[in-house]
Amino acid sequence: MTTTVPAGTGRQVPLADRGTPTTSSLWRQAQVLARRSLIKTWRTPEALIDVTLQPVVFLGLFTYVFGGAIAGGSQQAYLQFLLPGLLGQTIAMASVSLGQNLNADIEKGVFDRFRSLPIGRSAPLVGAVMADLVRYLILFVVIMVVGTLMGFDATNGWLGILASLVLSMGFALCFGWISVYVGMIARTAGAVQGIMFLLILPLSFGSNTFVATETMPGWLQAFVDVNPISHLVSAVRGLMLGGPVAGNLVWTLVWMAGLLVVFAPLAVRAYRRRA
């Protein structure tokens, strides 16, 4: 490269990597693209409402509106029950914006540029999922801090909180691929939201997030018992508050692997096909 020819295009040795991208370059490209998403989030802090204000409002509403009625009159006891559940629900809800943003990026033509670059096909999708981890971390911290201020007591101590953090972040990363997939197949960002809520409402309310399963009719119990969010919530309850963990932990991990193995390839394939 010479300094006298500023804009070089032609015959010089090319600047870019040539040839097929490797796994390590895919990882690096995804990191670069994740940074791009984070810059965008930083510029539009409103986009963080669903991981900051929204969980606080839910925590307050459910604890003080339903708490008295549900947990035999003790709001305190209900908060202990509710907080891990709400963590599961809000993670699922926070995943919606991932697919919406990707859909909007494609509509705007930003992804055409990525597609014309010699980078891994899946790099833009992996990068977006990676960047979303920051949002889930904020969500986790907000729920824990506000919950503690309201009187939540993680009786298992720091280790339990840490384990819950790791598990729920892992779950979020896998669950997010559903949103990515929907983002790839839906026509508009609005449609992504519609489809995702149709999926998330039964998953989050048809779980043991808000009330104990025993009060439900049998067919619903059957659904709740296989629902991945129920398993996550039960595992987190166990990790934070004590009680049996192993079974739910295993099921949560199985679900995570399943979601990842099914939806990540589906999403990448849909991305490739989308003209």
Q: Which residues are at the interface with another protein (CB under 8 A)? A: 5-12, 14-21, 25, 28-29, 32-33, 36, 39-40, 43-44, 108-110, 112-119, 123, 275
Q: Which of 95, 274, 104 is nearest to 185 (CA)?
A: 274
**Residues whose CB falls within 8 Å of the CB of residue 9, separated by 6 or more in sequence, listed in order:** none
- Taking the complex as a whole, the smallest distance from the CB of residue 18 to another protein amounts, in Å, to 5
- Taking the complex as a whole, the smallest distance from the CB of residue 98 to another protein amounts, in Å, to 16
In the complex with another protein, which residue's Cβ is closer, 88 or 99?
99
Alpha-carbon Rg for the chain in angstroms: 21
In the complex with another protein, which residue's Cβ is closer, 46 or 214?
46
In the complex with another protein, which residue's Cβ is closer, 16 or 246?
16
C-beta of residue 168 within 8 angstroms of C-beta of residue 136: yes
Half-sphere exposure (CA, 13 Å, Cβ side) for 108? Answer: 9
In the complex with another protein, which residue's Cβ is closer, 29 or 209?
29
- Taking the complex as a whole, the smallest distance from the CB of residue 80 to another protein amounts, in Å, to 41
Angle at alpha carbon of residue 123, lines to 117 and 126, rounded to 5°: 160
**Residues whose CB falls within 8 Å of the CB of residue 192, separated by 6 or more in sequence, listed in order:** 96, 99, 100, 103, 179, 182, 183, 186
In the complex with another protein, which residue's Cβ is closer, 40 or 220?
40
- Taking the complex as a whole, the smallest distance from the CB of residue 114 to another protein amounts, in Å, to 8
Can you tell me the distance from the alpha carbon of 38 to that of 42, in angstroms, rounded to the nearest whole number? 6
- Taking the complex as a whole, the smallest distance from the CB of residue 131 to another protein amounts, in Å, to 13
